[in-house]
Each structure stands twice: as C-alpha cells, then as structure tokens.
Amino acid sequence: MGNRSRFTIATETWRENALAIVPRSGTLKVMKPLTWPTLDDDHQWLTAALEKQILESNQTPEELRAEARRVRTEAQDTDAAIREAFLMYAANLELVAAERLAA
C-alpha cells in the first residue's frame, strides 16, 4: 500500500467506478460492478446483501447521498478495517445516487 491510506485507495476506486458511467441510449449505465472490501468466502453473503439492498432500494438520489454522509460520519469513529468497509459502502451509495439522478 505504500504511503497511500485505505481511504485514498477506496476514494480512487470510487472515482474509477464513477468515471465508468457512460451514456447509453439516453440513460447512464454503470459499466463496472460496485466495489466492496475483500472478505473470506464465508462472509461474501454480506457484500451481496448490501449490494442488493442498495440496488433494489426505492431511495431517491438525495436520500442515498444523505445516507452516504451519515455512514462517512460514523466511519470516523471506527477502527481502520471497519472504516474501510464503511467508506466503500458510502462510495457505492454515491455511485447509485449518481446513476439514479442521471436516469
């Protein structure tokens, strides 16, 4: 990882995904999947459940962004491993919010 923090890496990953949104037939389409922390196979169900929750929610882009802000605030008071997961979750909320806003 060198001098780059986990937050920096998570932010760069979010930016890569955000830039992968391209116009297709008048709508925007996410070209890359949402990004999640690496978990053991026994715990992959958690990221699948979170992704399903985000993608199938009826939340407006504003509600998703508000949730992302809340999660980032909460992440400030957690240890590094949990903080990384929170920040990735918040980035995914922002990505879906941007997609819904543009649709």
- Expressed as residue numbers, the domain containing 37 is 6-102
Phi then psi for 29, rounded to 5 degrees? -130, 135
Which residues in the chain come in under a pLDDT of 70?
1-33
In a domain, 56, yes or no: yes
In a domain, 1, yes or no: no
pTM above 0.75, yes or no: no
Q: How many domains does the chain have?
A: 1
In a domain, 47, yes or no: yes
Residue 77 DSSP code: T
Q: What is the pLDDT of residues 46-62, one digit of tens each?
A: 888 888 899 899 999 99
In a domain, 89, yes or no: yes
